[in-house]
């Protein structure tokens, strides 16, 4: 029996430090992959703010991490193990998996709705709690505003910088000619960077492409740029992989 993705070529646009597991999972299912990050992750400009927050972790009741990149930025700087009595809250299974890999024992994650709104529902009332929230520059305000409205004292920390990459037009065209059966986009910002960059015939080709996205906001960002062939996947790397397999080979890809 052939693998579910044999003969297909999938583009993965995750930041470089988050693409490895998903790429390997898709390759194991038979696909060829092309990795072209649509977000560049770099250290926060204000390292002092990050250092100060890490130095006083014992003053907080809860630490919230918006993404695996936020976890990586903080844990890279830790000189001692994560405080055992400080729970970590994350918005989705990718971050939960990364937190577990980093040794965190008490992880809070929504059961179904993997976004800021879902985490707010999971956390419930936070009256009087001191919360530190680690995120990238310019993150959405839904979560910190919701926590503050629930009575929490929230400290916002920019743990890393997100920026648009420099894309090589000739390389993207070459990759389109080699074949693109689906593009995985994992953030609305990444989708916007792609279409901000693309023009002319390249933009038209990208509008006609098939996209796999784990959240409806990403689908909305793609639709706003003229793309309509969009499949919303399950969450997390395993969920994305399973959804892609099910799309291309539904008979061959029962869920494990």
What does the alpha-carbon distance between residue 214 and residue 132 come to, in Å, rounded to a whole number?
26
Looking at residue 111, the DSSP 8-state letter turns out to be: S
Tokens of 164: 């648009």
Same domain (yes/no): 84, 193: no
In a domain, 235, yes or no: yes
Instruction: Indicate the average pLDDT of the chain.
Output: 92
In a domain, 244, yes or no: yes
pLDDT 10s digits, 76-123: 999 999 999 999 999 999 899 999 999 999 999 998 888 889 999 999
Same domain (yes/no): 73, 178: no
Q: Select from 162, 180, 213 the last residue of a domain.
A: 162
Average pLDDT over residues 20-48: 93
In a domain, 254, yes or no: no
Q: What is the CATH number of the domain that holds 93?
A: 3.40.50.10090
In a domain, 4, yes or no: no
Band (pLDDT 50/70/90 cuts) for residue 172 is confident
Query: Minimal CA–CA distance to 12: which of 251, 233, 201?
Result: 233
In this predicted structure, the answer to whether residue 140 has a pLDDT above a threshold of 80 is: no
In this predicted structure, the answer to whether residue 1 has a pLDDT above a threshold of 70 is: no
In this predicted structure, the answer to whether residue 74 has a pLDDT above a threshold of 60 is: yes
Give residue 117's domain range: 42-162
Same domain (yes/no): 156, 51: yes
Q: Select from 144, 162, 180 the last residue of a domain.
A: 162
Q: Select from 162, 196, 213 the last residue of a domain.
A: 162
Same domain (yes/no): 58, 149: yes
Average pLDDT over residues 185-202: 90
- Which pLDDT does position 141 carry in this prediction? 87
Same domain (yes/no): 34, 97: no
In this predicted structure, the answer to whether residue 256 has a pLDDT above a threshold of 70 is: no
Same domain (yes/no): 93, 140: yes
Looking at residue 57, the DSSP 8-state letter turns out to be: G
In a domain, 51, yes or no: yes
Same domain (yes/no): 124, 181: no
In a domain, 3, yes or no: no
Residue 200 backbone class (left: φ over 0; alpha: ψ -120 to 50; beta: rest): left
Locus of tokens 């901000």: 196
Count of domains observed in the chain: 2
pLDDT 10s digits, 205-254: 999 999 999 999 999 999 999 999 999 999 889 999 999 999 998 765 44
Find the angle CA(146)-CA(148)-CA(154) to the nearest 5 degrees. 115
- Half-sphere exposure for 218 (CA within 13 Å, toward CB): 24
In a domain, 33, yes or no: yes
What does the alpha-carbon distance between residue 175 and residue 182 come to, in Å, rounded to a whole number?
12
Same domain (yes/no): 123, 183: no
- Which pLDDT does position 252 carry in this prediction? 56
């Amino acid at each position: 029996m052939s693998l579910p993705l044999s003969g297909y070529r999938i583009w993965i646009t995750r930041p470089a430090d988050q693409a490895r597991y998903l790429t390997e999972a898709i390759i194991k299912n038979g696909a060829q992959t092309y990795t072209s990050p649509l977000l560049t992750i770099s250290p926060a400009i204000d390292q002092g703010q990050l250092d100060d927050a890490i130095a006083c972790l014992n003053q907080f009741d809860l630490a919230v991490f918006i993404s695996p990149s936020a976890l990586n930025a903080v844990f890279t700087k830790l000189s001692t193990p994560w405080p055992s009595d400080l729970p970590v809250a994350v918005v989705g299974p990718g971050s939960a998996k990364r937190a577990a890999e980093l040794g965190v024992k008490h992880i809070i994650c929504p059961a179904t709705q993997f976004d800021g709104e879902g985490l707010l529902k999971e956390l419930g009332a936070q009256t009087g709690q001191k919360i530190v929230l680690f995120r990238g520059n310019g993150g959405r305000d839904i979560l910190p505003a919701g926590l503050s409205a629930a009575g929490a004292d929230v400290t916002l920390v920019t743990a890393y910088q997100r920026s648009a990459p420099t894309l090589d037009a000739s390389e993207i065209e070459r990759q389109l000619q080699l074949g693109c059966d689906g593009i995985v986009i994992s953030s609305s910002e990444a989708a916007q960077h792609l279409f901000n960059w693309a023009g002319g015939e390249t933009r038209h080709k990208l509008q006609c492409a098939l996209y796999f996205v784990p959240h409806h906001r990403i689908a909305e960002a793609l639709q706003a740029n003229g793309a309509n062939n969009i499949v919303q996947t399950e969450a997390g790397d395993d969920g994305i992989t399973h959804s892609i397999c099910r799309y291309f080979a539904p008979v061959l890809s029962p869920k494990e």
